[in-house]
Amino acid sequence: MPILPLRPLPSLLLFSLVPVASWFIVRPLLDPMPSIPALYSSIGFSIFAFLATIYLVPALGPTFVKARLSGKDLLKYYDKSIPEQDLLVPESLGLVAASVYVLSLILFIPFAFSMPILEQSHVKKAAEGITVVEFPHYQLAVYLSSLLSLLVATMLGFLDDVFDIRWRHKLPIPIIASVPLLMVYYAERGNTNVVVPLPLRFIFGKLINLGPLYYVYMSLLSTFSTNSINILAGINGSEVSQALIIALSVILNDLLYLPWPIGFRIPLHLLGNKTELEFGGVWNAGMAYGSRELVERHLFSLYFMLPLVAVCVGFMYHNWYPARVFPGDTLCYVTGMAFSVVGIQAHFSKTLLLFFMPQIFNFLLSCPQLFGLVPCPRHRVPRFDKDTNLLYPSQAIPAQPDASTKRFPATPSRLATFVVRILSALKLTEVTTDPTTGAITNTTNLTILNVFLLRLGPMSEKRLVQVLICSQVAGSILAFFIRYALAWLVYDGDRR
């Protein structure tokens, strides 16, 4: 049976985290009161969430296999003599990570919102700096509606895994998960104004009230953030590593808005900005410039992102090449929803989208296949060659087509030909043409993974996921540059 050995867990190291996490959780109750008490509890819960994920995922794997939630890893070669059932990798284990994530957010409620802690923080002021009463009490409703959306996303992701919905049909499903968010946003009379970029102000003025369109925008954001991670999938560790890096980028961005106990400055002028950014000191909260509202928004974001990073790291340990568990759709649904929740509730959806650059690129590239211009097979993962043990770009029409395989028509439409030619000229795909008619007969699948393989040559699965991670990190660095060095070109200081 132990053909796919479980990854070893360094128990001693892990258990030494328990007292650390416990200290963080109870820190708000100890003297002297820290300036952001609930942040400590959040870190403590995140460490526990990490531990729960890293232990529960392998422990529950067999249960998932028994419930027929398992699959063979198609990009690996094993001896034919091994019976198939010994090679089954448990699938949908993202459900465990998602459940741990949501549960830790639920258990965090009394630490962020309970009156005793809030009162204590009112009475005893921290020695210096801003004492942030983390959430105004009424924000509990906002927090709960976010949790509801995350839970609906978890549920829908798992339903997707169990009922195996065709991926073109499931594109609009995340809209359902955004409904609780929208309902409470409406009931709370959420802000539907957006700041107009400088070049457009002569038409719309400085602020424009999008009204109902703002709700459309919010639900589209959740649809995008969910699906864009879900379609950049298929190799070991790809889904969870994307989520991890985006979450870390959001956290880094949030940290810029918190009151820092130490003073330092970021030389933004080197990046072309007009001002420098000074941190630390009394009442100085980084980019928040003393605005309590901005600090609170970014704390809200941190409270959702810290445990997300924790469960992603715990899950990645088992999902890393060669994967011992698969995430299923649940992980993509819940991480995507978590990003749109913080983007919407903490009002930095445009910054958030900047962290999705590889996903946006992959989505735009995929459009011809998503919308039926180019034939789209059930799986678009790179092709595995068992002799070289490397991955190669996969074809839209595979070498061994079956009955359900769609093909290019004998004479592809002019639009399809045009689009494919353009992509080919941009070196984003490789086209096969009929030697007699010159008509397109096949292309590589339009995914960013295939683009990597086309441009950098065939590589191993582990290498490919490393390239993906590097591109995601590079995208985030570029995002920070655009947000903090170039944003003054289109926005003035009055930001929301």
Residues within the interface to a second copy (CB under 8 A): 63-64, 66-69, 103, 106-107, 109-110, 112-115, 137-138, 140-141, 144-145, 147-148, 151-152, 154-155, 158-159, 162-164, 176, 179-180, 183-184, 186-189
Residue 158 CB, shortest distance to a second copy, in Å, is 8
Residue 140 CB, shortest distance to a second copy, in Å, is 5
Residue 188 CB, shortest distance to a second copy, in Å, is 8
In the complex with a second copy, which residue's Cβ is closer, 66 or 495?
66
**CA-wise closest residue to 120 among 105, 129, 104, 131:** 131
In the complex with a second copy, which residue's Cβ is closer, 26 or 271?
26
Host H or E run for residue 72: strand 70-72
In the complex with a second copy, which residue's Cβ is closer, 107 or 469?
107
Residue 143 CB, shortest distance to a second copy, in Å, is 9
In the complex with a second copy, which residue's Cβ is closer, 189 or 274?
189
Give the C-alpha separation, 218 to 127, whole Å: 40
Residue 436 CB, shortest distance to a second copy, in Å, is 44
In the complex with a second copy, which residue's Cβ is closer, 87 or 176?
176
CB 226 within 8 A of CB 333: yes
In angstroms, how far apart are the furthest CA atoms of the chain? 84
DSSP-derived secondary structure for 110-168 = HHHH-HHHHHHHHHS--SSS-----S-TTHHHHHHHHHHHHHHHHHHHHHHHHHT--TT
Residue 463 CB, shortest distance to a second copy, in Å, is 36
Length of the chain: 496
Give the C-alpha separation, 281 to 377, whole Å: 58
411, two tokens = 């004479």
CB 147 within 8 A of CB 141: no
Residue 77 CB, shortest distance to a second copy, in Å, is 30
Residue 290 CB, shortest distance to a second copy, in Å, is 28
In the complex with a second copy, which residue's Cβ is closer, 75 or 148?
148
In the complex with a second copy, which residue's Cβ is closer, 151 or 285?
151
Let me know if 162 is exposed, middle or buried by CB neighbors in 10 A (0-12, 13-18, 19+): middle
**CA-wise closest residue to 149 among 334, 312, 349, 353:** 334
Residue 144 CB, shortest distance to a second copy, in Å, is 4
Give the C-alpha separation, 228 to 151, whole Å: 19
In the complex with a second copy, which residue's Cβ is closer, 184 or 302?
184
Quick count: other Cβ atoms within 10 Å of Cβ 133? Answer: 16
In the complex with a second copy, which residue's Cβ is closer, 67 or 490?
67
In the complex with a second copy, which residue's Cβ is closer, 41 or 228?
41
DSSP-derived secondary structure for 222-283 = HHHHHHHHHTS--STTHHHHHHHHHHHHHHHHHHTTSPPSS--EE-GGGGT-SS-EE--STT
| SS3 labels along 337-379 | HHHHHHHHHCCCHHHHHHCCHHHHHHHHHHHHHHCCCCCCCCC
Residue 141 CB, shortest distance to a second copy, in Å, is 5
Place of tokens 């920070």: 480
